Amino acid sequence: MELPQEIRDALDEKVFVHLATLNPDGSPQVSAVWVGRDGDKVLISTATGRVKPRNIAHDPRVALSFSPPSKPYKNFTLQGTVTKTAEDGKWLINSLSEKYLGDPDYKGKPGEVRVNYEITIDNISTWG
């Protein structure tokens, strides 16, 4: 699905996105994440061993919700499907660290292995 320019612009800001995944029992799990964008795909990075990768492996359906800093009374909710794109994908977390912190060298935890995902959006809702 093609993302409207307004959503592309919002994702390009330092917006904190709430990512909802499904636990194996069907209950929701929500995490705040940094995001990047590659065209109409939303990019996220996480570390192996966390809940997000386990939930995504079990069920790749996710939802994202955010309000851009420039328009705090506008909300976007995106639903989509996740695809794993890289194991030990340090390049994405470094890019996100530069975007959000101004530092292109993400420190992380010693021995941390990063995993990158792209989200293909198939439903969009907005309000505000």
Q: Which residues in the chain land under pLDDT 50?
A: none
Residue 72 DSSP class: T
How far is Cα of residue 81 from the mean position of the Cα atoms in its chain?
11
pTM: 0.94
Dist. CA 124–CA 63, nearest whole Å: 10
- In the block, tokens 């940094």 appear at 34
Nearest to 77 by CA among 19, 2, 37: 19
What are the chain's domains? 5-127 (2.30.110.10)
User: What is the model's pLDDT at position 58?
Assistant: 97
Structure tokens at 97: 């660290």
User: What is the model's pLDDT at position 108?
Assistant: 87
User: What is the model's pLDDT at position 89?
Assistant: 81
C-alpha separations of 105 from 3, 12, 16 in Å:
29, 19, 19
User: What is the model's pLDDT at position 68?
Assistant: 95
